[in-house]
Structure formats: structure tokens, C-alpha cells
Amino acid sequence: MSTFQASRGFLRLSRSTSKLQPPLNLHLRIASRNVATHTLPSQANAISVLPTIIDPSSEEYKENARQMGTVISRLEELTKKIQLGGSQKAREKHIARNKMLPRDRVAALVDPGTSFLELSALAGHEMYPEAEVPAGGIITGVGVIEGVTCVVVANDSTVKGGTYFPITVKKHLRAQAIAQENNLPCVYLVDSGGANLPNQADVFPDREHFGRIFYNQARMSSMGIPQISVVMGPCTAGGAYVPAMSDESIIVDGQGHIFLAGPPLVKAATGEVVSAEDLGGGKMHTSVSGVTDYLAVDDAHAIVLARRSISNLNWPKKQFPPPTAYEEPLYDPEELVGIASTNLRKPLPIHEIIARIVDGSVFSEFKRDYGSSLVTGFAHIYGHKVGIIANNGILFSTSSLKGAHFIELCCQRQIPLIFLQNISGFMVGTDAEREGIAKNGAKLVTAVACANVPKFTVVVGASNGAGNYGMCGRAYSPRFLWMWPNAKIGVMGSEQLTAVMEAVGKAADPELKERIDRESEAVFSSARLWDDGIIPPSHTRRVLGLSLIASLGGKNEPPSSTELRAISMLPASRTRAFARAITAVQARHLSTNPSTTPIASVLIANRGEIALRVGRTASELGVRCTTIYTDPDSNSQHALSSPFAVNLGAPNAYLDGERIIKVAKEQGCEALHPGYGFLSENSAFAKRCVEEGLVFIGPPWKAIEAMGNKSRSKEIMIAAGVPCIPGYHGKNQDPEYLLEESRKIGFPVMVKAVKGGGGKGMRIAFTEDEFLSKLESAKSEGRNSFGDDEMLVEKYISTPRHIEVQVFADKYGNAVALGERDCSLQRRHQKVLEEAPAPNLAEDIRQDLWEKARAAALAVKYEGAGTVEFIFDNDTNEFFFMEMNTRLQVEHPVTEEITGEDLVSWQFKVAAGEPLPLDQATITQRISERGWAIEARIYAENPSQNFMPDSGKLIHLRTPRTSDSVRIDAGFIQGDTVSSAYDGMIAKLIVSGPTREVALRKLHAALQDYEVVGLNTNIEFLKKICKSPAFIRGEVETGYIQKYNDELFAPEAVKPETFAQAALGILAKESLEKGADFPTGPHGLAIGFSARNERQFLFVESSDSESKLFSVTINQSGQKLYNVQVKGPGIDESYENVVCEGGAPSISTFYPHTRIESTIITDGDKFTIFQQGKQTQLRLTTPSWYEKALGLKDVTNSVLAPMPCKVLRNEVKEGDEVEKDQALVVWVTLDPKALLSG
């Protein structure tokens, strides 16, 4: 800082503090001197020293110490017993074989004077009624060997011969995980009989079972983590892989044996008689097989060799700083025994605990006066800088935000985090929910999950509910997790459980309460490896120190940066910049006359038809467009539509908001249009756009956030006077409670995910009996689709309609309704046809819908295009708010047709600050004059298979002729590929007419001209809808397809002329391509163009599951003149003197009774025929000898996947006998999960 700047800064400081009114002469003297006042480091340090009010002589302290002393004494006795290992007899037998006891081996292995940080000493305690398994039959921990911090895994053969119980496997894997995560060399002291056979089902086959040990060894080897094995006893079967997969192996002569099968099994299998030494002894393996590298005389020698191997690793030897580099706590850590309490209903003085853990009791507390129920701050432990997060009460929104902020700071500075848990959970209740506890709590949980610095957790009291997650419980991968003896862990305590049971009208079961108490104990937890061990409170500082050095002991790479997008509390500099941006936006929003700034460039953050649609309007407005695409979309139309196109790479990159924003800024775009789907309704993304200075062409992010939560949006609507369907939208997600609420509402009810959309996470329970199963199904889909299984329950209307209102609002507080759309025709809760206006709707109801929609928009200070969706009860003519889509809808073109307005253009204008182009009166007049519009979505899907999505290349694509009344919004052309990675909508066909009847006839006619080959589509189904009598009458409802299922899916017989046209088309195509002398193929059997000049074609309907065979015999009697005979089930027709003209792909044929024009598209042995407005798919059969001639396998019982999929699991194995309808294989498709049955 320059002198001038410093002076100005000081003068500002002087003015700001002038109200203190120091003596005038002192003030003038200080102000006149242009120097900084010196502060001693000791003074700065002193303000961070934690005081204490603990009185060891008080009765409360003594009582705590007495109770904790009793608990600690019991644990000491238990630990001593466990450390003995197996029975006295087993230990004596072990020693008699000249073998060191397992713990003696470990003690000899680690450096003298160093501490061995044992892991999970209580593992397996009282877990197996049939056997005692002290320490889980294996000793693991972190120790220093030749100055190198290592992980040690030592089998205890005195415990059931060192065999692996389930807990043994779990403990071994945990040790390997610590070695992997901290990059620590691993030493295996092998002395094991392999898997414990009586427990083989829980040891052998699963992912985290015995085989995972060797998987981890391979992965650790690939990571460059050294592994040393010392074989001191049996090493049989799969266990033989431990030394075989290590970098160096040592074997003890005469007692170490490595073989896949021991002598008895070898004799039984091969008849060979061989000794254990000759089969797999130390001499053989070190001199013949080379499996081991060093032969040791005995255990002690083996330990020396192991230490030598470690010394040759050239591995970092990181140590604690010298004692002069740090101070011990000012207060005795032994006092923690009286500070801790077995009564967890009493708060623990967390500052007192911290003061006895950190160096010099110095703690730089962060945000001390904000969110005080969570204590955060910086300190040192043995000279290592750490960040501490400690509970001082229940977690509120403020404390959650504070914690998330602090974690981000530590991640930026690469400071390890220590969590001191004593938490009963997050705050609940109305005030908490209104403060956003769910979201703010999620920010803390997200921060914990994403923190890429070493994390360590000590449970000093309770660890209940979601508080466990927010305070880095086991699921959040702390490097180590320790518990105090008084700690308890569980979803809730037994007392809370009793209160909950009583609240729902049920008496608490005393046995259940007792079990919950027992299962919450620290010993129960540690026995199951929910932690890494129970530690005395007074050892907390040292254990954390050893944990820290372990995390720093390997060749660690610098931690990667942590991205915590869900966290809103930012460092001060970023906070100020963010505040300026928000202030600017709010100022523009609140201004009565905001300036209009036309948009000159835009990035279209979407794909397919909507990207092209937005691009067309933008070009008309003179806006430069930048498009984005992914690898699957590299040749797509939207990627080719602009000279400014950027490849994002991976298929899911359309969801990478930060990357998209970066591209927009790099391309110099002023605005971003999200289209629909992907990130269009992501409030965080919209917010980030604003923060980065981009105009988000959509509503404000707060409006998106408010309307994105179904429960919250309904609260807003009710407050705005918008009717909502009766239901339960609360936070109590207990299934029985939801069932009771459903009873109050009255069945049938709909359960759906609060964060759901697109029909996912939604189920209908018609009766009380099926409610719980439907609820679980919806929750499962909610978790898989949205990462959230919170549900709401609403009254299910048996004959509902889906009516939505298009709204638009500007920055001036104006909002208009641009008419309604009926979207009732749906499959799987997703729209198929949309029309405007809604049929059979009284005018007064229509106007009321519009008014309520406008009220909804105004209630959330909406801007831009939005759609308010209502459910309309056909029986009562009542309507209820469902949700608001805060974006442009797929079906917006029907609104454009009935208003004559370009809604995308409106979006650009409103985003630029212009007022709405039309007022409500003008819009109403327009709609009354412009008739009707209907939109049909052309999807790649198979309606006959429950609308299963399809994908593939568009081999053939012919669209209807467009006009003023026929419009097509498409994202594909012929030759493009519809990818399974994205939604399968090929195009939207929009027609308009003066009346609904005319529009419907136009739609049917246009669909008859729509031809798609290469994948299944819903075009034929849409044609049936257009001809459905009830739909023509406008008797629509969301369950229309199910209600008229028999009519809509009634099989239609293929006309004989269709088979004839297929055969004639094949001939015409081959003649055109090959000429008259082309060789006959396998088809036609022995007939072909022989002396009789006949040819036979055998067809099967592609959609016919029974594979009925139809034959077409063609006898060419002259140029373009044929006699045709068609035979098959229910068909026997002959046509004489048929004239066929044309070639490929279209032919025109004159039959005696009619003329038929057909387009025949060939795809291998599949043929798609378009004629007289109908599509038919046929397959040409292949002669049986063809496969044999080519050496192909019989594929009679093979299965062809209906679409790209991933096999999830096989339900049977090769050789099994199966029955009809038995499940064979489960695969995952776009249709969440499909089951193949025999």
C-alpha cells in the first residue's frame, strides 16, 4: 500500500472510531504519525486461548468421573481378555510349535518406542453365539516400521485356526481401505486356515467378502502401494493369493505352507500322496516355484526380514514435529473423564473438550456468535493445523450453513477436518422447516461428503439421526472414526422411540426399547466395525495425532479441489462479489422502469428440436447463437445448425452446469436459453448464470426453487387462493403415518415424489391393502431418479383431466394467461397429445382457470414463460393445482397456433427487460378467433410393449407436407441416430383448424403421411387415437389409454395386398440394383426364377408373437406383369395380371380391383411397408439350411433385447431347467427395469 493509500485508510479508521472520543491530543498524535502499531504474537495468540470453568473438586465432576470410571474399567477388562486371543489350550499349542503369539509378532514388527494404533479391538464381540472370536480373529492397526508408517494385518491362528468369520473379512478389508486411502504400505502376517466353512455363505460369495481382499491387493498394487507378506503358518486355498499378490513375500521354514489344496484334498482329487512341505513348504516356494522371495528360520527371523523389506521401500518417513514446535494443552486431558458424561441428555461442554485436545488450548473460533450450536475453528494438534467442527447442541439452519462454510474454507486451504460428535439430529418443527432446515442441512451434508481433505471423527456423546451424516459419520468416509466409552449411536434413542410410538398411538415394546438401548452402545457398535475403536477420552488428543500422521505418512498427492455447489456461504471476497451481483439483479427487478437491453448473443443449453426451435427465433431476432453438443450428438442437427458449436464430450454433459456456463462466457454470450428438460428447472443453475453475469432466459431462480418443490409450491398456491387437491404434504414420512393420512383423504390416493417429474416416483393406491407396497415402489423410484424419496399423498381423482395454462409475466409485474391446453392423453404419466383450447370446458371455468394461473405466477414474482398445471375432475367440474413448470413446455406450439404469437420471441423480449407484447384482453380476443390446435409427439417407442423406449438410426424418414395449418418441430433428419442416451422424441406434429373436428381430421391425415423406419414409433397408435370415438367427442381423461385399451390395441389383420406389395417391392428393388441376371439368394426355396418363373416369399409379422407364416408366390408372366398368390392363416387370395411399376423404395401396383401405391423400406431381412396411410412391419424368413451352411448356432431359444440395455443379473444359470413365465434375466433400460420371463 502506498503512503497516500495508507494515510487515507487510517483516516477512514479514525473516523469510524471517532465516536469513542479518545483524548484529543492522543488522537492527533496518532493520526499525525504514518506508521502501524506493533502487536506482539503472544497478544494475538492470547485472545484464542480457551478458558475453563471445570472444577475437579465439584460434586458433578466427581459423579461424572465415577460413572465414566466404571465404564472404562469394564472396557479395560474386556479388552485385556480379548487381547489374550484364543483359548489357553490354543495358545499353548501355538507356542509349542515354536511360533510367536500374534500380538508378540506385531510388537516385534513395529519400531521400539512407537505406538501401534490398533483398529477395532472389540470386533466380533458377542456376535457369534456358537463361538468366541476375540478381535474378530485378526489384529489390524497402524504402526511405524523402520520409520515408515504402515498398516499391519496379522491373523490370529489361536482363534479358530485363524479362519475368516464374516467380521474377520470386514476387519481385513477395513485395514486395506485405510492403507489405500492414506497410501500406506501394508504388511500381512499370514497364519490362517482360510474361510470359516460353517459361515461360508456370509464369507465367500458377495462383493465385500473374502475375494475382495485379493481384489484390493491388486488395486493397491496398481496404485503403487507396497505390500509385504510374511507367511508364518497355513496359507491355503484362496488365501494363497495373499503372498502371491504381494510385492515381496517371506515364508517361515517348516511352518509356513502355501497351496491351493492341501495334501488330503490332493490325494482325494488325484490320488497323489505328498507331504505339506513338498507340496507348498518354504523351501519349495523359495527355490522351485518362486512364489516367495525369502526363507526365514523362524518367526523372529521373518520379522527381521520384513523390517528390512520395509527399509528398502524408499518410502517417506514422516514424523511428528519436535516438542518445541507445539505446546501441550493448558488443561490436563485426564480431566476429560469427569467432563464426559454417561447421561447424554445433559449437554457436554464442547469448548472444555477442545481445550484439552488442541495445542496450547489455542482455538481460533470461526463465526463464534453465529449458529452457536455448532462450534467451528482452527487449531493445531501436535503441530498439525486442523479445522474442528464440534456439536454444542442440535443443528439449526444457521449452524448447518456455518459448518458448510467452514468446511469449504478448510478444503480451499487443504486443512484436515476433525469432527467431535454429540448430536441428536437436525432441528425439526415449523420454524425450522420454514428456515429451510432440509436444504441447509443438505448443504452441510454435501460439504462433508465432498470435502477432499482428511477427515477424522470422534463420537464424544450421542450420534443420532441425520446429525450423524452432517457430522461425518461412517458413511461419509472419515479416515478414522473413534468413539468414547459413553457414546451411543442409532437412528434415535430408546426414549425418543417411545415418544414416537406414543405419538402415533402405539405402546412401546419394552423388549424393543431394551434392544435399542443395547444396540446403541459403543461396544455393540465397535464389535460390528461401525467405528475404528473405542478410546478413553483422555487419549483423544494422542489418537487424533496418530490418525493425522497416518493420513500424512504415505506418498500422498495434493488433495483435489473441492466443489461444493450446494453451499451458499462463500469466502468474504466471493460473498461481496455475489452480493453486488444479487443487488444489481434485485434493483433491476424492483425498478418501475428498468432499462431495456436487447440480447445480441445466446448460448442454447439444450439439444434436439427445442435447440433448433430456439435457434430459429433467435436468428430472426438477429441474435448470434452458440450451440453445445455431446459425443453422441456430434452429427446432430442442432450441433450443425450454428457455426458456433462446442463439444461437451460425455453424454451427460448437458447436465454439467458449470461447464456450460464456462462455455457461454468463453464464447462471449450475453444470455443463456435452457430450453426444456436438463437444467431448465434447476434453480442452482439459474442462480449461477446470474452470478456469472449471464441473462438466464427463464424465470428468476427463486421462483424456480419455490415451484420446484411440490410441497412448498402447494403452500404458496394455497396462500395465493389457488385451489389445491386434498392431500398430505408434510415431512413425516413414516409409512404408517402416511397410510393414516391416506385414510383421512380417502382412497384411492396418489403417492408421488416431492421432487418428482415426468411421471417418475408416482404410484396410485386404489385400496388400503396395496398402499404400503405402492408407497415403497414410488420411494424406490424417487431415490433412483431424483436422489430423494420424500413423498406426498394426494386424493386420486378417478376420471381426471390434465389441463394446463400457459402464463407469461414481465419485470413490471404484468402477467397474462395465453389460454389453456388439455394434456389429458398420457401414457405412463407422460403426455402424448396436447390440444388448445380444452374440449368440453365451460367458459366460466376456463376463465377461472386463467385467473388462477395468473395468480399463481404473481404469487412467486414470476418472469418469462411458465405453465400452471391443474387436475380437473370430470365428475364435479372442480380443478386443483398440481404444479408449475418453470420453463417453456414441449407443447408450447399449440398455444402459438391459437394466439398467433412466437413464445420464444416473447422469452427473449422479457429477458431483455421489455414489457409483455400483448395484454390479456387482446390475447382473449385472439384465442376466440383462431380456432383449434393439436400437437402429437412422435416418439421412438413401442406402444405394444407398454411404450418401451427405442433407439436407432433413422433409415427412412418422410414427413407430411407443411403449410399454414401443418407444422413440424423436429430435431432429426433421415440418417440421424436417435440415441438411447436421451429422450426419444423425434418430432412434434402440430396442426390447426377452425374447429376441433377439422384439426383432428388434419392430424390424422398428416400422420398417414408420416413415415419412419429404423426404430419403433407411436405413429400408428396416434392414428388410432384420432379415430377413437370417445376422443373425437372430446371425452378425455388421463386414464383414457387404459380405459380404451382394448379398442386402441386391438390387433389389425394385415391385408393380403400388403404381403403382395412387400414381395413385389423386393423384386423391384433387386431388379433395379442388380439387373436381370442377379443370382438368386437363399429366399424362395427351390422355386426362384426357374422354368416356371415363380418365386416364393415367406413372411412373418414383426409384431406377431406367434410367428404366423405367410407365403407369397409370384409368377412373372410378362414385363411388369405378375400373377400373385397369398396364403396364410385366414388368407387365401390370388390376383391375376397384376401390373407393378416403379422401383425402390416406392411401387405402384394395379390389381384387378384397385390401385395401391406403397413405399417399402428394407433393413436386412426386415421390411416396412407404407400404404394407404398405414404402416406394416414384416420379416422375411430364412431357410433352415442357411444357418447350417454358415456354421451358425441354433438361435431358437435365443433372446433379442428389445432395446439397448444393461444386464443387471441372471436369475438362472446354464443347464437349469426353466418353466414358462419363470424369470430368466433382469436388465436395465430406459424403462427403469425390465424382466425377461420364459
CA distances from 486 to 373, 1167, 1196 (A): 21, 75, 66
Predicted confidence at residue 1213, as pLDDT, reads: 83
CA-to-CA distance for 454 and 477, rounded, in angstroms?
9
One domain, residues 1021 and 918: no
Place of cell 388448445: 836
Nearest Cα to Cα of residue 1230 among 1012, 1013, 984: 984
Cβ 756 vs Cβ 785: under 8 Å? yes
Phi/psi at 133 (5° precision): -130, 75
Average confidence (pLDDT) over 498-502: 68
What single letter denotes the amino acid at residue 1209? R
SS3 content of the chain, % helix, strand, coil (to 5): 40, 25, 35
Res 1080 pLDDT > 50:
no
Amino acid at 767: T
Q: Is residue 474 over pLDDT 50?
A: yes
Does residue 458 lie in a domain region?
Answer: yes
* In the predicted structure, residue 1091 carries a pLDDT above the cut 70: no
Percent of the chain beyond pLDDT 70?
A: 87
**Could you tell me which residues come within 8 angstroms of residue 1175 by beta carbon, excluding any fewer than 6 positions away?**
1011, 1019, 1020, 1168, 1169
900-910 as b/e: b if 16+ CB within 10 A = ebbbbebbbbb
What is the distance between the alpha carbons of residues 2 and 722, in angstroms, rounded to a whole number? Answer: 62
Residue 766 belongs to a domain: no
Residues facing 991 on adjacent strands: 934, 966
Higher pLDDT, 1094 or 429: 429
Residue 398 resides in a domain: yes
Specify the pLDDT at position 562: 54
Residues 700 and 813 in one domain: yes
Backbone angles phi, psi at 1162, to 5 degrees: -100, 135
State the pLDDT confidence band at 91, using cuts at 50, 70 and 90.
very high
pTM exceeding the 0.75 threshold for the entire prediction: no
Q: Give yes or no for residue 1194 having a pLDDT over 60.
A: no
**pLDDT value of position 388:** 97
Residues 381 and 550: their CA atoms lie apart, in Å, by 14
Residue 47 class from Cβ within 10 Å (0-12 exposed, 13-18 middle, 19+ buried)? exposed
* CA distance linking residue 516 with residue 506, whole number of Å: 17
- Name the band, by pLDDT with cuts 50, 70 and 90, for residue 2: very low
In this prediction, residues 203-212 reach a mean pLDDT of 89
CA 973 to chain centre: 33
Residue with cell 478458558: 51
Q: Give the CATH number of the domain where residue 943 resides.
A: 3.30.470.20
Task: Please tell me the distance from the alpha carbon of residue 659 to that of residue 664, in angstroms, as a whole number.
Answer: 9
Other C-beta atoms lying within 10 Å of the C-beta of residue 571: 11
111: left (phi over 0), alpha (psi -120 to 50) or beta: beta
Three cell numbers written together for 617: 427465433
**One domain for residues 1023 and 1121:** no
Query: Which has more confidence, 709 or 296?
Result: 296
Pull the grid cell for residue 903. Answer: 413464445
Q: Work out the average pLDDT over 122-142.
A: 94
pLDDT above 70 (res 30): no
Evaluate if residue 1055 carries a pLDDT over 60.
Answer: yes
Q: Strand, helix or coil at 417?
A: strand
DSSP 8-state symbol, 825: -
How many helices (H) and strands (E) in the chain? 43, 51
Same domain (yes/no): 264, 249: yes
Task: Give residue 1216's pLDDT.
Answer: 84
The Cα–Cα gap between 200 and 238 comes to: 13
Higher pLDDT, 338 or 578: 338
User: Using N-to-C axis directions, what is the helix angle for 211-222 and 166-182, rounded to 10°?
Assistant: 10
Residues 307 and 414 in one domain: no
Determine the distance from the C-alpha atom of residue 51 to the mean position of all C-alpha atoms in its chain, rounded to a whole number. 46
Q: Identify whether 1151 is part of a domain.
A: yes
Q: Given this model, what pLDDT does residue 1225 score?
A: 80
pLDDT score recorded for residue 1191: 58
Q: What is the pLDDT of residue 591?
A: 36
Going by C-alpha positions, the residue among 660, 679, 675, 596 that lies closest to residue 913 is 596
SS3 of 863-902: the string is: CEEEEEEEEEECCCCCEEEEEEECCCCCCHHHHHHHHCCC
pLDDT (0 to 100) of residue 1220: 78
pLDDT reported for residue 828: 83
Split at pLDDT 50, 70, 90, the class of 224 is: very high
Number of domains in the chain: 8
E-state strands within 120-212: 138-145, 148-155, 186-192
Output the furthest CA–CA distance in the chain (Å, rounded): 129
Answer yes or no: is pLDDT of 688 > 80.
yes
- Domain for residue 1030, yes or no? yes
CATH number at residue 637: 3.40.50.20
> Is 559's pLDDT higher than 60?
no
DSSP 3-state of 553 = coil
From the list 930, 1037, 942, 939, the residue with the least C-alpha distance to 989 is: 939
**Helices (H), ranges, 1093-1215:** 1184-1190
Asked if the structure places residue 1070 within a domain, the reply is yes
For residue 606, name the pLDDT band (cuts at 50, 70, 90): very high
d(CA 419, CA 469) in angstroms, rounded, equals: 11
Do 878 and 872 form a contact (C-beta atoms < 8 A)? yes
- Confidence class of residue 1105 from pLDDT cuts 50, 70 and 90? low
pLDDT at position 564 over 50? no
- For residues 1117 and 1170, membership in a common domain is answered with yes
Instruction: State the pLDDT at residue 537.
Output: 93
Cis peptide leading into residue 651 (ω within 30°): no
Is the Cβ–Cβ distance between 400 and 441 less than 8 Å? Answer: yes
Same domain, 157 and 231: yes
For the question of residue 887 being annotated catalytic, the response is yes
Residue 1084: per-residue pLDDT:
29
pLDDT attached to residue 1187: 62
- Same-domain check for residues 186 and 228: yes
Per annotation, catalytic residue among 307, 624, 887, 996: 887
Give tens-digit pLDDT for 1127-1167: 999 999 999 999 998 777 899 999 999 999 999 999 888 89
CA 828/CA 1041 separation, integer angstroms: 10
Mean pLDDT, the chain, as a whole number? Answer: 86
Q: Mean of the pLDDT values across residues 715-740?
A: 90
Min mean pLDDT across 499-508, 677-686, 730-739, 1006-1015 is at: 499-508
CA distance 992 to 998: 8
Buried/exposed code over 812-836 (b: 16+ C-beta within 10 A; e: otherwise) = bebbbbbbbbbbbbbbebebbbbbb
Is the model's pLDDT at 31 over the cut of 60?
no
Which is more confident, 1087 or 526? 526
Residue 408's Cβ-count burial label (10 Å; 0-12, 13-18, 19+) is buried
Q: How far is CA 957 from CA 967, 993, 1145, 1159, in A?
A: 16, 26, 12, 11
Neighbouring residues of 1046: CB distance < 8 A, sequence distance ≥ 6: none
Question: What's the rounded Cα separation, in Å, for the pair 1064 and 1058?
Answer: 10
Do 184 and 112 sit in the same domain of this protein? yes
Give me the sheet containing 727-728, strands edge to edge: 727-728, 791-795, 749-757, 760-765
The mean-pLDDT minimum among 12-26, 379-393, 508-522, 921-935 falls in 12-26
Query: Percent of the chain, pLDDT > 90?
Result: 65
Q: Is residue 44 part of a domain?
A: no
What range defines the domain where residue 999 resides? Answer: 931-1049
Angstrom distances, CA of residue 578 to CA of 262, 407, 585, 665: 70, 19, 11, 17
Beta strand 480-483 with 455-464: parallel, antiparallel or unpaired?
A: parallel
Question: Which residue, 726, 741, 812, is CA-closest to 771?
Answer: 741
Give the mean pLDDT of 672-679: 94
Please calculate the CA angle 713-718-723 and round it to the nearest 5 degrees.
105
Residues contacting 695, CB < 8 A, separation 6+? 599, 670, 671, 672, 689, 911, 912
Tell me what the mean pLDDT of segment 344-373 comes to: 94
Average pLDDT over every residue of 1090-1118: 77
| Cell of residue 95, nine digits | 507356542
Q: Could you say which DSSP state residue 432 is in?
A: H
Please check whether residues 848 and 961 belong to one and the same domain: no
| Cβ count near 14 (within 10 Å) | 13
Collapsing DSSP to helix, strand or coil, 905 comes out as: helix
Whether 551 and 532 have beta carbons less than 8 Å apart is answered as no
Q: Which residues pair with 639 in a beta bridge?
A: none
Question: For residue 744, which phi and psi values (nearest 5 degrees)?
Answer: -65, -40
Q: What is the pLDDT of residues 377-427, one digit of tens each?
A: 999 999 999 999 999 989 999 999 999 999 999 999 999 999 999 998 898
The yes-or-no verdict on residue 940 having pLDDT over 80 is yes
pLDDT tops 60 at residue 1185:
no
584 vs 187: which has the higher pLDDT: 187
Q: Which of 687-691, 785-789, 884-888 has the lowest mean pLDDT?
A: 785-789
Report if residue 744 sits inside a domain: no
Same domain, 428 and 491: yes
C-beta of residue 491 within 8 angstroms of C-beta of residue 734? no
- Do 1008 and 1040 lie in one domain? The reply is yes
DSSP SS3 for 556: coil
Backbone angles phi, psi at 433, to 5 degrees: -65, -40
Q: What is the pLDDT of residue 1168?
A: 93
Domain boundary (673, 707, 733) is at: 673
559/247: higher pLDDT: 247
The enclosing domain of 527 has a CATH number of 3.90.226.10
- Write down the residue that cell numbers 409475466 correspond to: 809
Classified as helix, coil or strand, 1173 is coil
> DSSP letter string over 1010-1048?
-EEESS-BSHHHHHHHHH-HHHHTT---TTHHHHTHHHH
Q: What is the per-residue pLDDT for 567?
A: 40
d(CA 974, CA 807): 36
* Residue-level pLDDT at 377: 97
